[in-house]
């Protein structure tokens, strides 16, 4: 079984923590590990798993690879989409790649940014879904609803389906009667009361060959485009770059619309495992650990006479007094204050910022590169300060900004600065001046990253580091 991780979504609903170029799957929202890392770590204990395939866009490539290596995941394959085309083309490409390993491969398709609290229940559901998939069913996981949620799509149960070995007792899966869009509150309550509906999780388990055959049957144009995108793509290290022309011509569609709503082979396995897609700050509050006043506080936070609020601090002290039902999220370059019950409106805030080309809508202070990480600390008209982390045994070359001088101070680690006049060792405490338009190379040596504090005067952007 190959885990197929869908990690291409852009970040808008959890702004300002997530950004278009730094989505929530790369963030540690519910613990020390990122959502992507948690998605892979909760698979530990499922039998016969092969290294994962991760689908994302080229922008996320280095960040995802770095995070996988941090948790000891090796042998993974990245499939890089030149443009987003929704879940159906992504799953079709993954199925084709899985079939190139073996015609009998199963693929477990998981979004990279979901929360699942009960790994044991999740593993049991995966085992059930795998059994149905071996019989030719296309299985999706339907989350047993706990409330009349208006932010999720729903799946209506059809007749119970038996694998042939389950025997009497509680049904393990159901035929899919229909998919329904996100309802209003009254309709959602009716769904909950009926007991006939589950939330649509967007998670699936298929035999790769079976889902590929259904894509070819119901969406032959999509199948052709995906085949060509792989055939004419290029491989670079651990990544497959899909051909931009072929994949760009593929229409955008979800696997629900293109296949699951049409196939006669679909079944739903109920999942009751503490699931959430963490699709809003309200959902973050719902899933968080609340104090005696109903507050979820993360980071350097002080609250007085505050109730039922989420207060999130990333870079400085945030104090709240005499408020209730608010979301306050502080990051290094933006602060959000919103009514907790209307936190879905963050999307319209981000749309407005994008229309005005505000950098906070797109960029994040942290950027991943092939050799390490660059973190923006401070920028004003006079100077820019950033943290540069070069991974062990990595190197890069730059030409310093044309209109600014830079000062590099080594915080930790060791390495070499290479200029025309020779090599200069950089250890903790080293301080070096770099004039405008200077070409130099940097090498990190040792087992720890080389961490440098860069100050540029006057302020210069990070383009000289981003290549």
- 415 bridge partner residues: 426, 444
Final residue before a domain boundary, out of 242, 276, 310: 276
Rg over alpha carbons for the chain, rounded to the nearest Å, is 24
Q: In this structure, is residue 304 part of a structural domain?
A: yes
Q: In this structure, is residue 363 part of a structural domain?
A: no
- Asked if residues 174 and 159 have their Cβ atoms less than 8 Å apart, the reply is yes
Domains of the chain: total? 3
Q: What is the CATH number of the domain that holds 250?
A: 3.90.550.10
Q: In this structure, is residue 461 part of a structural domain?
A: no
pTM check: above 0.95: no
The end-to-end CA distance of the chain, in Å, is 38
DSSP E strands, 10-153: 53-57, 77-81, 106-111, 115-116, 138-143
Backbone φ, ψ for residue 185 (5° rounding): -65, -40
Q: In this structure, is residue 366 part of a structural domain?
A: no
Nearest residue to 247 via CA among 221, 226, 223? 226
Q: What is the CATH number of the domain that holds 405?
A: 2.60.120.10
Q: Note whether 156 and 264 are same-domain residues.
A: yes
- 337 bridge partner residues: 328
Q: DSSP letter at 20? A: T
Q: In this structure, is residue 364 part of a structural domain?
A: no
Amino acid 381: pLDDT: 86
Q: In this structure, is residue 73 part of a structural domain?
A: yes
Q: Note whether 271 and 314 are same-domain residues.
A: no
Amino acid 467: pLDDT: 58
Q: DSSP letter at 9? A: P
Q: In this structure, is residue 358 part of a structural domain?
A: no
Amino acid 21: pLDDT: 85
Q: Note whether 407 and 327 are same-domain residues.
A: no
Q: What are the per-10-residue average pLDDT scores of the chain (467 residues)?
A: 92 89 91 95 95 95 95 96 96 97 95 96 97 97 94 95 62 94 95 96 98 98 98 94 97 96 97 94 94 97 98 96 97 95 90 94 91 92 94 93 93 95 94 93 94 93 78
Q: Note whether 106 and 181 are same-domain residues.
A: yes
Q: In this structure, is residue 281 part of a structural domain?
A: no
- Asked if residues 53 and 90 have their Cβ atoms less than 8 Å apart, the reply is no
Q: Note whether 328 and 215 are same-domain residues.
A: no
Q: Note whether 394 and 328 are same-domain residues.
A: no
For 94, residues 6+ apart whose C-beta sits below 8 A from its C-beta are 2, 4, 53, 55, 79, 107, 109, 208
Q: Note whether 56 and 129 are same-domain residues.
A: yes
Amino acid 167: pLDDT: 47
Q: Note whether 263 and 411 are same-domain residues.
A: no
Q: Note whether 111 and 73 are same-domain residues.
A: yes
Q: Note whether 193 and 69 are same-domain residues.
A: yes
Nearest residue to 241 via CA among 432, 56, 19? 56
Nearest residue to 215 via CA among 127, 112, 85, 101? 85
Cα–Cα separations (whole angstroms), residue 138 to 106, 264, 265:
11, 9, 6
Full domain range(s) for residue 297? 290-353
Amino acid 237: pLDDT: 87
Q: Note whether 108 and 155 are same-domain residues.
A: yes
Final residue before a domain boundary, out of 219, 243, 276: 276
Amino acid 166: pLDDT: 46
Final residue before a domain boundary, out of 276, 300, 318: 276
Give the Cα separation of 173 and 267 in Å (integer).
Answer: 6
Amino acid 287: pLDDT: 92
Q: Note whether 121 and 145 are same-domain residues.
A: yes
């Amino acid at each position: 079984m190959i885990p197929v991780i869908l990690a291409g979504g852009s970040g808008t609903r959890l702004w300002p923590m997530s950004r278009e170029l730094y989505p929530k799957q790369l963030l540690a929202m519910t613990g020390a590990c990122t959502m992507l890392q948690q998605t892979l770590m909760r698979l530990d204990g499922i039998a016969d798993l092969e290294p994962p395939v991760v689908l994302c866009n080229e922008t996320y490539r280095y960040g995802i690879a770095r995070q996988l290596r941090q948790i000891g995941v090796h042998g993974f394959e990245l499939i890089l989409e030149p443009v987003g085309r929704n879940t159906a083309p992504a799953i079709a490409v993954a199925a084709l790649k899985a079939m190139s390993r073996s015609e009998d491969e199963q693929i477990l398709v998981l979004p990279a940014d979901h929360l699942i609290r009960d790994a044991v229940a999740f593993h049991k559901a995966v085992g059930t879904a795998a059994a149905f998939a071996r019989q030719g069913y296309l299985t999706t996981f339907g989350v047993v609803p706990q409330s009349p949620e208006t932010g999720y799509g729903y799946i209506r149960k059809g007749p119970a389906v038996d694998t042939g070995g389950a025997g009497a007792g509680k049904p393990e899966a159901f035929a899919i009667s229909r998919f329904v869009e996100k309802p209003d509150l009254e309709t959602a309550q009716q769904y909950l009361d009926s007991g006939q509906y589950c939330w649509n999780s967007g998670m699936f388990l298929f035999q790769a060959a079976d889902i590929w055959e259904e894509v070819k049957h119901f969406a032959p144009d999509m199948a052709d485009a995906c085949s060509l995108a792989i055939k004419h793509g290029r491989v670079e290290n651990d990544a497959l770059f899909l051909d931009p022309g072929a994949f760009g011509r593929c229409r955008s569609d979800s696997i629900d619309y293109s296949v699951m709503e049409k196939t006669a082979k679909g079944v739903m396995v109920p999942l009751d495992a503490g699931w959430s897609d963490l699709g809003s700050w309200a959902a973050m509050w719902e899933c968080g650990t609340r104090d005696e006043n109903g507050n979820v506080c993360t980071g350097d936070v002080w609250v007085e006479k505050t109730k039922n609020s989420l207060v999130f601090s990333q870079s400085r002290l945030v104090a709240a007094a005499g408020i209730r039902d608010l979301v306050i999220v502080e990051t290094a370059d933006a602060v959000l204050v919103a009514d907790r019950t209307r936190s879905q409106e963050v999307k319209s805030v981000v749309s407005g910022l994008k229309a005005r080309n505000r950098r906070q809508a797109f960029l994040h202070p942290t950027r991943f590169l092939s050799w390490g990480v660059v973190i923006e600390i401070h920028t004003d008209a006079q100077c820019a300060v950033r943290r540069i982390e070069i991974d062990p045994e990595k190197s890069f070359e730059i030409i310093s900004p044309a209109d600014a001088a830079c000062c590099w101070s080594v915080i930790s680690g060791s390495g070499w600065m290479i200029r025309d006049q020779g090599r200069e060792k950089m250890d903790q405490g080293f301080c070096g001046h770099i004039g405008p338009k200077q070409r130099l190379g940097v090498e990190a040596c040792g087992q720890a990253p080389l961490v440098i504090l860069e100050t540029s005067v006057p302020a210069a952007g990070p383009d000289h580091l981003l290549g």
